[in-house]
Structure 1
Amino acid sequence: MFEFAARLRKLRERAGRPTYRDLARHAHYSIATLSSAAAGRQLPSLAVTLAYVRACGGDEREWELIWRRTAEACAGTPAAAAAAEDRHGGETRPPYAGLAAFGESDAGFFFGRERLTAALVEHMKEKRLLVLFGASGSGKSSVLRAGVLPAFSGVRALVFTPGPHPLEECALRLAATAGLDPASVRGDLAAEPAGLHRIVRQILAGRPEGDRAPDELLLVVDQFEEVFTLCRDAEERERFVASLVHAAQAPDSRTRVAVAVRSDFYTHCTRLPALVDILPHAHHPVGPMTAEELRAAITGPAARARLTVESALLTTLTADAHGRPGALPLLSHALLETWRRRRGNALTLAGYRAAGGFEGALTQTAEAFHHALSDSQRGAARRLFVRLVALGEGTEDTKRRVPRQELGDGPDTAHVLEQATRARLLTVDGDHVEIAHEALIRCWTRLGGWLDEDRDQERLLRTLTEAAALWESLDHDPDTLYRGVRLAAAKDLPRQALTARERAFLDAGESAAQEAQRRDRRSLRRLRRLVGALVVLLVCAVAAAGVAVQAQNTVTRQRNEAVALRAADESVRLGPHDPSLAAQVALAAYRHAPQKRTRDALLSTLSLAAYGAGPTGPRPTGHTPAVTADGRTLAMADRAEILLWDITDPRRPRRLATLDGDGVAMNFIEFTPSGNTLVGVGADRTLRLWDVTDPREPAPLSEHPTGHADAVYAVAVRRDGRLAATSGYDDTIRLWDITDPARPRTVATLKGHAGNVKPVAFSPDGTTLASGSDDRTIRIWDVSRPRHAATVAVLEGHRHFVDALAYSPDGRTLLSGSDDRTARLWDIGDPARYRRLGELARHADVVAGVAFAPHGRTAVTVGVDGAVKVWDVTDRARPAPLAFLTNPGGSVKEVRHLPADGTLLTVTAHRGVQVWNTDLDRVLADACNRVRGTISRAQWAHHFPRLAYDPPCPRRARADPASGIRPGLPLLRG
């Protein structure tokens, strides 16, 4: 672009530098148009270029070819931009990092985190130990590498990730720096916590004379959560952490330690003895960027690269990213793709939309990579990407750094690895490969589907990979081979999913098993010869037989119970992959051990199986649900669209219509109580209303700016359908008169919260409005006279952000959920004299949604930990658990009660909709009708080893209401 403008200026100089007034007279274009063409701010049109050349006496045909080559380089495709970079020898450096973290060499392009960087540098100088907590995608790695490291530019630094063997990884890095033997360094680290401190002092003592650099070492441990997700040795984990803490806290310490860890692993960190006491003084949170910081992160790198950002693009990006803790890699990738589609030196909104938008840019890149592969290469890509994900246990899935040799060496694998690296979806560091960022796991729906389908198989495969590596490291020791049930389970894995090393391990195990069978047959023949002698002894043993039989019965009963409990847990994980088999495993487990744990697993599995067992076809997806009062119509906001579904039969949803959001993502939607109007607020802070009287033919009614100065979080509609409320990140609530949906009017602006206002909910009688905020309080507003609404109570008690609210049907009780992982009940019969009631048992992570059942006797809470908990709240002061259901796919974000008793609708982190039924009698009555084939003997032996084959649904579909369980089986009641 700049080269093209420079050539135009040289052409004018060769023509004798005529004035632009003279050029305009000959070219018949304005002075401003011609001067802009030579300024290089954007590529001029072909007509303007040829007119400029004509006025300067140049060769028009030659310049037409030059213009077309330049236009191709500036065209809106990443391939064209990449080609342009190759033609210039890679001199064009992207100003944005995409999915990769900013490194120390990128410090000049790292903007927006100046205040956080200064706080972290000050912390490191004062305390020497920093534990940096933040959500995945909040920028922890970037702020350490591009912010903190440059501030210690004269200090030696070591940056590494722990991997499956953190002590060994640390020893390798230290040994390479000090020129020592890695094995001896690892031995010193494992021997005692002071080993790391001594080695650092040895490294610093060996500096050349005259080296004036500070006598210190800065140790940065990135992705610290790998000590929990990849490291299986608890003793090695504790020794590694103890070494880090001792090196930073020794009286003569020469080490500064910075650790970056995902916030959902905070509880895991508190279980480490070396960390638990120092965490209150060493930890520092990384929150989402403010609007000003986001604008700096967008415009700063562009200005550094002599680019401009269109104001409409800046506004859209800021609105899309604001308030989202894990949005930074998505923002950086969207900016990188927009830069590849730049128009001259300008980043435009059109280029951003062509790239796919905020989340769509990453999905579009991943889908383009996948589409370009052949069928065999797509299979290799699926196996490769699934191997690169560490499956979460009560936490979200994380990326996994694996050795290159674990991925196999076939031509398809090599091609996929090369293309994925070129597309910046993967990064290759030496002999290791990993996903560029965990945002890919959250946003690429195809990868999420692979993980849901292969979750149990992948866990088995991970165990096999570790066992094969151990077998090789011990020179093929036969004692490490699989035998029995483990060998049988591993043999069921698809052969194409295994590497050559894993196949060799299983083949060796099969050969050893066959040899063992031959030895057993020889031993059996010898034993038969001894039978005669044992007959005499048998008479003496009869007296002890009674005791032995009784003991054997006890052991058998306990063994059967243990097998049933394990099978119940397996059925939940199996549900999304094979609902028919999962239902039978859960039923059989409950039959053999009818207790709370197997009942919860049964409800979880049969609910999932019932929803997934219908005919194939489209399923509701999205991130924000709305359900009509009669429970017949579901609306799902999915990016810039709203899809309407008929869920009269939740197992067989039918798509009714699609509402176009005009390219704007909907943050929240809600039906009016009549179900005739749908109200929504989008990322552009506009209130939209649609007529859905006939949901098959919806029609837009009105659009009106909300007036919020920042992102709008939620919308609520009063039961009479005449009043609505919107909440926003500008710390305010706005009340709307929607009596005439075609002409909504602002009634009042409510102020009082000192932080982002998130959930809002009207009381059943419509006289009060409850609002939750990041200031950790809940406010109750009197809205009986909306124009004169006022605060009547401020509820305090949560220790973190308030994310969810729900009124009981009688309006006298409020249920709240919070980032502090608790849900609380409040007596607000008289709001001015509110009372704190019972606290519902903690979730393992953020409580994302709460709801009361229509009858008010039960409530439900859902969380990021994947749990769906049902509570008996008849006694509000002492709520009791009824059921603990589990979503095997991870986080549950939203929950809505459906009219049918005990029926729930939830939305998962992968934007999928699930329907749960907690009425055990109804679930059992319909259980076997969901079965499409009786469990085979091989499947039974796998899930219920040593138990007699007894399928719970021996026929394909049984209409008998009691078919889900044997007559006389006791049912547990919540």
Structure 2
Amino acid sequence: MKICYYSIDFFCKRSINQSRTIIYNYYYQEQTVITATEENVNDNLLCPYQGLYHFSPENAEYFFGREVFVENLFQYTETRNFIPILGASGSGKSSVILAGLVPKLVKIGHWQFTHFRPGNDPFHALAQALVPLYVKNLDETDRIAQARKLAGYFQDNTILLSDVFSTIQGNYPNNRILLIADQFEELYTLCNDEQTRRNFLDILLNTFKSFAEKSSLSTVLVGTMRADFLGNALSYRPLADVLQKGNIMLGPMNEKELKDIIEKPAQKLGVSFEGGLVERILRDVDKEPGNLPLLEFALTELWNKRKGKQLTHNAYQEIGEVSGALTCYADSEFSKLKPEQQQQVRRIFVQLVRPGAGTEDTRRVATKAELNDSNWNLVKQLADARLVVTSRTVITREITDNSQQQPQQLKEQETVEVVHEALIKNWGQLRQWMATDREFRTWQERLRAAMNYWQEKNQDQGLLLRGAALVQASEQLKTRRDELSQDELEFIQLSQELYEKEEKQKQKQRQQIVGGSIAFAVIVALLGVWSEVQRRKAFIGEENANFRTEIATLQPRLNSTLPVQMDVIKLNQKLKQAQAPTIDIQLQGTDLLRQIVDWPGQKPINSLDGHENSVIGVTFSPDGKFIASGSWDNTVKLWKLDGTLVTTLKGHENSVNSVAFSPDGKFIASGSQDDTVKLWKLDGTLVTTLKGHESDVLGVAFSPDGKFIASGSWDNIVKLWKLDGTLVTTLKGHENSVLGVAFSPDGKFIASGSCDKTVKLWKLDGTLVTTLKGHENVVSSVAFSPDGKFIASGSWDNIVKLWKLDGTLVTTLKGHENVVSSVAFSPDGKFIASGSSDKTVKLWKLDGTLVTTLKGHENVVSSVAFSPDGKFIASGSWDKTVKLWKLDGTLVTTLKGHESDVLGVAFSPKGDVIASGSGYNTVKLWNFNRDELLKHACSSITGYLRNNPNPSDDERRLCGEKASGKVLFLQGEKLAAEGKIKQAVSKFQQAAKLDSNFSLKLAAASLVLFGELLAENGKLDEAILGFQKALEFDPGLKFNPKTEVAKHRFKRGQQLIEDIEYIEFDEEAILAYNQAQELDPNLKISASDWNQLCWAGSINKEADQVIFACNKAVELDPKNGWVYNSRGLARTLTGDSKGAIEDFEIFVKSAGNAEEKKQRKAWIASLNKGKNPFTDEVLEQLRSN
């Protein structure tokens, strides 16, 4: 359970609502209330602003500005059961739910609320949120234990989420449930396992499957996510489908909403702003939604500096205004620390920032262990100062002692994070620290990725740091030891110890060479050779260590985004050029490549779909070009390795149990539950049907010379056939069903395994050579050793036995705890692999020695196979995965993608493809051919590389692509838009040379367009150059560059003063008018245009800046009463009351209707009395009109 302790002591008293809204699993504890230190501040007055914290139900009465949005959310709860809210960081997503929607639902009643953040374990986080509603009245310990169990049930589908909600509905029959998924982007920032993310999203989406209509469930899921993570979310198609149709964007606030945020909380407490201060703050606030935290923090600080019941300009200036309040406060708190504490604070803060790679830096959660116990008191001090947030997370762990599993223990883990990312972006001191330490922090994140991967792989020694990675870590250890966690120190130190151990072994080898009695010259020669060998070994070792680090770094960030795809392609291109990458590194690299090729949303190349029932058997043709699959849909299908279906072999009248290729690859034999064997050509022609069995045919095999087929049946019999359908002999003797048959490598013998607990060995003439007795249950699998001297048999008695062909029992391989389902010999005949229902694979020597146990599957292991080179074992399981192992027990990779039990696995003859068949009617091909995968990977991004201006030339060269004319042209347009005209011209010229469709005339049109935009935005020199180059590219164009720039700069000024929200742009409008006239003194600006500028500036209290425009309007159109009206307003506001009266009198005589004349007469009367009629309220009315 996660408890967040927010220290929100804003140096002012806070209200505590006695009737608190209950939101389960939501902890927002206001721990400390500190009296304000300013003598002129009333201690009993409550603080209505929230600083960098979000609003909660307890302070909802002070939450303003989002009323319309909250009302829309409320309406959505009646029509949708999934409400995803996207907005920028700091836009107030959490507040609109917790202080907006929740209180509104509380008012109508009959709602229960629960809350979670996904964190690094989203299943557990969800379970924590649901347990209080799912099982009522649990104490804290039981609730924690129940949450852990429920999380496990969700992960293995033991309990469906919909069933949990049904139970909750039974517990609360008169209530609806609001499930709040806050900060949903943590699913991408904290949860590193892609499969976990997808599984979690699947259970949510499958439960809340209708976002457009009210579901039969009475539960509504409302989630908040930062908009900059939308790309991550859209990379998973099921979530993309929902978001594309139903996401709700929380956009920027308009001026009125911002004004409400500023004024209304204070007004509720009878506090006012000094005249003009609200408008001043509005001018200082950029309307980007991410700046709301800065505004709220500045208002909190301003509140602390209030004079009685007024907030003043002086206080606002003192806190550093909106832009500087946070920095001023953070600097002030930092300056209170002792020098040694300041150094510690620096180390703490840089650990709380994750350096961005081409993106903005983000906050990260750090544990107490990472920051060291000695720093924790200082962390609490920072929390009291509102700069960080501390939390406690209760976790469970299993204690293992002498192989005896102890009960789960509970452990509380303390964590800390920066209070808000606004601090990272806006505190100059922190930005400076990150600039200085960015290289170290980037390295440290890479180190953590490598360390985490090493820990996930059971601390495999081969994954420790080596080469350049170890040298760099050792250097960092010397200078930054205090900034490394205990786990990181241990990882580096173990790497160093391994290096030292290997160096000692090398030194011993040197001494042995030198200590011998070889002649000196020979010694020198050998040492020279040895030195070169060692240099080469060192280089290869360093190269492989770097590859391991790169793979470890890529693993957690693996997704379908283009940067990741290109990083994986780049890695594999380097592996192709490497001197001697180890086989496991090569496989891990190609596995990453395979995963991005097979990513959901990409064209699948590994799924052979078409069967209508479970696929029981898969086998490769001898040349590796085809795959045959037998299914319970009564068919055999023949496929090419690219997924093309060659043909479907139809004719069986019941399930197909077994398939086999002839040694020459020309025929396929299939055994069926229709009691027959059928022989087919590869074009689908049925050659013959072998009839004679009286029950299901369970196994078929070709003889090595391809002349015979053996079939084993449920009728207890083995039959031997010629390929023309002639029955050669019937092998009788088993007393129960025959499950499997196999020919010896020399083709002289047939072995058959049976439910009668025996293996029988036969000659081809039907003579029984021997019966191998000893098993105590069904013999499920038999195999000959490659040299034909031994038979291995696996049984349901949990045992593997090894026999000689004369019937002698060589050894009994004991160790499995459940049924042995599959046995296989290694190609060199030195090892036997056995798969079992005990979820393990065991590797044995032929003398019975257990080499290793391969653990990792979560259900029955149904099939095992050796790679042709004998270096790897593939295992298929009912846990829906295929695993690839090295013979030392190292798990190379887990192949995920099946949606049902894996029933069979097979390697292609070259060993670069694994085929697996499943109970979900599919065959999947797992391709490890790097060249083939690179071709597919490059083809998926070819269009992007050719036609998008963003990739660099190096990135294009990854796949042998060159920038097309279109790309060069788009790059030119991008440069032109940025005002980089010279570079843009070069790109346009290259594009025209490469592709006639992108002519210089077309470039001229673009330069004109972007020249207009540059002119409007005040980049005048760049705009002039753009227009000049356009004239060079297209002599048919006729215009004066300076005149064009002047026209468009003036146009911008017009736009600014016509905009109803131009308050921030009035000075730019004035500048635009003046610049336009300077560029072209002959440019005609009408009296109406000058009058607009005069009026707009005046009603926004900038009359002194626009009085010149008022005079120009009168000068150009002296008979127009409206221009006098505008100037009258400006004269009043600049203190020229006499001139104002004259102007309003002219207006009354020459313009306006009766009501307008009456209003001006009232203004004249006020001015004659020495009063200014244009109060703030009047100016607001004029702005509104």
TM-score for both structures, normalised by structure 2: 0.39
Q: Which has the higher contact order (CA 8 A, sep 6+)?
A: 1
Q: Which structure has the larger Rg?
A: 2
TM-score, with length taken from structure 1: 0.47
